[in-house]
Amino acid sequence: MAKKDGGLRFQPSGGTRTPQVPVGKKQKLMIERLANDGRGIAFSDGRTWFVSGALPSEQIEARVLAAHGKVVDARVERILSASPERLVEPCAHARVCGGCSLQHMPHADQLALKQRMLAEQLSRLADIQPDEWAPPLYGPAFAYRRRARIAVRWDAKAKRLDVGFRAAASQNIVAIAECPVLVQPLQSILSGLPAVLGELENPRAIGHVELFHGSASAVLVRHTAPLSETDLARLQAFCVARDAQLWLHGETEPQPYVEGQALGYHLATWDLQLAYRPGDFVQVNTQVNEAMVAQALDWLAVTADERVLDLYCGLGNFALPLARRAREVVAVEGVRTMVERAAQNAASNAIGNAHFFQADLSNPLADAGWLGEGFAAVLLDPPRDGALQVVKQIAALGAKRVLYVSCNPTTLARDSVELQRQGYRLKKAGILDMFPQTAHVEAMALFERP
């Protein structure tokens, strides 16, 4: 009698498994069109390739970053036949840095790509389009960014401090001494930062560095261990030489090295000065932010006898300009420190008809005392996950006009379905180019109810 085989045997359920494309493999491709995120799309061997840095009609050699079934993520390794639309990237690090992804594309084409992405999301997810498309709202294509986070990591093997930005699709740090999308005052700070951090007695203590520019420039140093007096003096001298404030972030909240120093930004059209601290949300693009606020007020057309609700109000970026026109503005934010800061901003600008409240906007608003007699108009500027719970209650507030500022067209489209259900019509929509040289899309949409 034959001996039984005690081992388990697995039979294939049918067909053969397609072997995965190995990471690092190089592949020649013809790019057919662009995806919504600006990557080129190619088809080869039954797979769909998404290639960063490629343009339609180009023949390129791509390097595989990741593969999932029949979808391959890759980046351009070599351009074999370039599109006539291709630009030479102003930044030497554009193809490896994770900050910018569209420097090879003309700015007008970037705007068209973002406009198409917004239209497709609204059409596909909400079956909706506006009565009127607004022209894109944009500013300078470079030198626009007024805040940035700089990655810092001690390389124990090489015994050096790496300072720069994260690489695309990687945790590696790209050493960068110049970044053309930063505003000019931050350029000079960035260029000298690697040297001064590398001279510290304990560079391992540095977690990361953040740069800010507004009414003043500032350098925030996040440290995981106390810094010596020598290192503090070195950092302060570096900041003074570049007309910047030094802020420190250890175990407690960020604090200025020189007591009493403060940060802020100016909304010139409304003669407003808004104070903030590192960690507060501030729009990165000065010119587009001011144009965005102006367009929001123009679209909402608030009159002097109207009561307006501003949800996700932050520091008062919309609420305080609205208060210049409305009878009353009720502004609501989920983070208590931001509510306090916004109220202080109202007081420092002598605005008495804006009132600020803290509330969890993911919960029903029915019991909120600040609802009062309702509102003629509502403005909301939610985070990326949108504002579905709030939107479900908009009609009950009595608002005839709703202005939705979105940093995610997908959740804007989802929430638009709910607004339509309540009888609102999408009157206007358009993109806000808050982040040139990237595929990030921000949008503004105006809804009205008869």
In the prediction, which pLDDT does 348 show?
A: 98
pLDDT score of 8 more than 80: no
Q: For 390, phi and psi rounded to 5 degrees?
A: -70, -45
What pLDDT sits at residue 168? Answer: 82
As its CATH architecture, domain 147-263 has Beta Barrel (2.40)
> pLDDT per residue over 426-444, tens digit each?
999 999 999 999 999 999 9
Domain segments of the chain as ranges:
26-86, 111-140+284-448, 147-263
Q: Where are the beta strands (DSSP E) in 299-437?
A: 307-311, 328-333, 354-358, 377-380, 401-406, 425-432
Q: What was the pLDDT predicted at 9?
A: 42
CATH tag, 111-140+284-448: 3.40.50.150
Give the Cβ contact number of residue 251 at 10 Å.
Answer: 8
Give pLDDT, residue 16: 54
User: Which residues are designated catalytic?
Assistant: 407
pLDDT at 10 over 60: no
Find all residues with CB under 8 Å of 361, minimum gap 6, and list them.
311, 312, 332, 334, 382, 387, 389, 390
Question: Residue 4 has what pLDDT?
Answer: 43
pLDDT digits (tens, 9 = 90+) for 199-209: 999 999 999 99
Q: Does residue 2 register a pLDDT over 50?
A: no
Mean pLDDT, rounded, of the chain? 94
pLDDT at 73: 96
Q: 404 and 412 in contact (C-beta within 8 Å)? A: yes
pLDDT digits (tens, 9 = 90+) for 326-368: 999 999 999 999 999 999 999 999 999 999 999 999 888 877 8
pLDDT at position 30 is 98
**How many CA atoms lie within 13 Å of 393's alpha carbon, on the beta-carbon side?**
18
What is the architecture of the domain spanning 26-86? Answer: Beta Barrel (2.40)
DSSP tag of 185:
H
Q: Do domains 26-86 and 147-263 have the same CATH topology?
A: yes
- Per-residue pLDDT, averaged over 370-383, amounts to 93
pLDDT value for 235: 98
